[in-house]
């Protein structure tokens, strides 16, 4: 007689599964109410209704190596299902499971117990190493990546959840600043001929620069996040000159060796992990904002914080394709042109004309990448009298002519 523990909080689901077991497997199985901590459970059906339930499964599995574990996954957590593969679990069910699928899975587990034809592989050493090793590939572990994605989306809300993550992500490894990375490859044909992949090359270069420091990556379709731990004596990545120089060196080397052009936005430092998602949002905003100093590396702290200047930059973004005058914008906040001109450059790092031009070039970049409009049409849409003047201005700000930019390849990270 095999003991089955239903660790299912959903009462309706519990009763349904219990009835099926009683009806179809009463000759071979018995339901037990013991806690999962007991060591004599043959089959454990464990509900996964929140992300941390996977942690419970992992811990239970370490204590009960011979027990067949069947996760019962909530549909909203389907994206976490690769963890079942990582744990070498043979089974996986999704609520609300159909009767014939449940019974087929259960009978298969019973059959394996009876014949002992299948045994779990012992991966304890692998997971024990998570607590004590700081390997260069830590970020590839499913738990770490899943936790960091939740952290950056703001889904981790309590200190308890942080503490529960310690067994696979020690507190000292939690990053405190986010770098938002996008880029392009100048010569896609050369890349294809040489057979390298831009996302891999970028990460390898950055790993070499930050060897020995806390560094991890999260890949999204059109951007890569670099998660750094800036030393405690610095209040900003910008103030950590050694770290900033490593990033700038990487940008230069990638462009020289591979023709990879990177654009990086950097958020503020947050020593409290629960607030790290703010750094992500800030890094994204910095990436899309007119640079104070350099195009390739922009800091959120450089974005104008003055409410009146923000009102003006929003106005410029909305009407950048029109023939904007400095007086027209200054009038929005009731300032004289000389005074507005002075504080605008002080806050943005650029003159009014330079700032408007940059915003227009941002719009031009989007149109060149996402539409099939001719350069002449784009030039006219952005308010330029001649395509040649537009092209010259674009090259000055972007470093490539509109035609050459359109021939580049946007880097897709996943």
Which fold, 307-409?
Arc Repressor Mutant, subunit A (1.10.10)
Does residue 124 have a pLDDT over 50? Answer: no
pLDDT of amino acid 349: 86
Give the CA radius of gyration of the chain: 28
Enter the tokens of residue 216. 């991890």
For 133-302, CATH number out of 3.40.50.300, 3.30.2320.80, 3.30.70.270, 4.10.320.10 equals 3.30.70.270
Enter the tokens of residue 99. 């009767």
Cβ burial of 371 (10 Å; 0-12, 13-18, 19+) is exposed
Instruction: Provide the CATH number for the domain formed by 2-115 in this structure.
Output: 3.40.50.2300
pLDDT digits (tens, 9 = 90+) for 49-77: 888 888 888 888 888 878 889 999 888 88
Contact present, 227 and 216 (Cβ < 8 Å): yes
Q: What is the crossing angle of helices 11-24 and 99-115, to 10°?
A: 60
Arithmetic mean of pLDDT, 265-270: 95
Does residue 165 have a pLDDT over 70? Answer: no
**Least confident piece of the model among 138-147, 213-222, 347-356:** 138-147
What is the SS3 assignment for 273? helix
- Segments making up each domain of the chain, as ranges: 2-115, 133-302, 307-409
pLDDT of amino acid 168: 53
């Amino acid at each position: 007689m095999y003991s089955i523990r239903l660790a299912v909080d959903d009462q309706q689901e519990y009763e349904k599964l219990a009835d099926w077991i009683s009806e179809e497997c009463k000759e071979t199985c018995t339901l037990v109410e013991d806690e999962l901590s007991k060591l004599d459970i043959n089959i454990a059906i464990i509900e996964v209704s929140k992300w941390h339930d996977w942690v419970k499964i992992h811990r239970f599995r370490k204590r009960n190596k011979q027990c067949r574990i069947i996760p019962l996954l909530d549909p909203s957590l389907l994206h976490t299902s690769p963890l079942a593969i990582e744990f070498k679990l043979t089974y996986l069910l999704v609520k609300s499971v159909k009767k014939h699928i449940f019974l087929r899975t259960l009978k298969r587990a019973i059959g394996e117990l009876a014949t002992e034809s299948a045994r779990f592989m012992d991966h304890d050493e692998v997971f024990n190493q998570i607590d004590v090793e700081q390997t260069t590939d830590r970020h590839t572990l499913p738990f770490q990546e899943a936790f960091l994605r939740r952290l950056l989306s703001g889904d981790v809300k309590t200190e308890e959840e942080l503490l529960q993550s310690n067994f696979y992500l020690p507190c000292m490894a939690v990053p405190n600043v986010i770098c938002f990375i996008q880029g392009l490859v100048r010569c896609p044909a050369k890349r294809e001929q040489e057979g390298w992949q831009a996302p891999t090359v970028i990460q390898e270069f950055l790993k070499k620069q930050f060897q020995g420091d806390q560094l991890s990556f999260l890949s999204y379709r059109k951007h890569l996040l670099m998660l750094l731990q800036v030393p405690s004596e610095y209040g900003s990545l910008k103030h950590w000159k050694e770290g900033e120089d490593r990033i700038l060196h990487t940008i230069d080397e990638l462009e020289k060796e591979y023709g990879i052009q990177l654009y990086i936005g950097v958020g503020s430092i947050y020593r409290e992990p629960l607030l790290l998602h703010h750094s992500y949002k800030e890094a994204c905003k910095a990436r899309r904002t007119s640079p104070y100093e350099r195009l390739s590396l922009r800091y959120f702290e450089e974005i104008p914080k003055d409410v009146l200047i923000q009102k003006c930059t929003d106005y410029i973004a909305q009407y950048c394709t029109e023939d904007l005058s400095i007086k027209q914008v200054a009038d929005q906040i009731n300032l004289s042109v000389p005074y507005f001109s002075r504080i605008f450059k002080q806050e943005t790092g650029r003159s009014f004309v330079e700032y408007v031009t940059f915003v227009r070039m941002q719009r031009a970049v989007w149109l060149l990448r996402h539409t099939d409009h001719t350069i002449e049409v784009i030039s006219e849409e952005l308010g330029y009298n001649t395509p040649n003047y537009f092209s010259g201005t674009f090259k000055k700000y972007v470093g490539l002519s509109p035609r050459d930019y359109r021939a580049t390849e946007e880097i897709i990270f996943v």
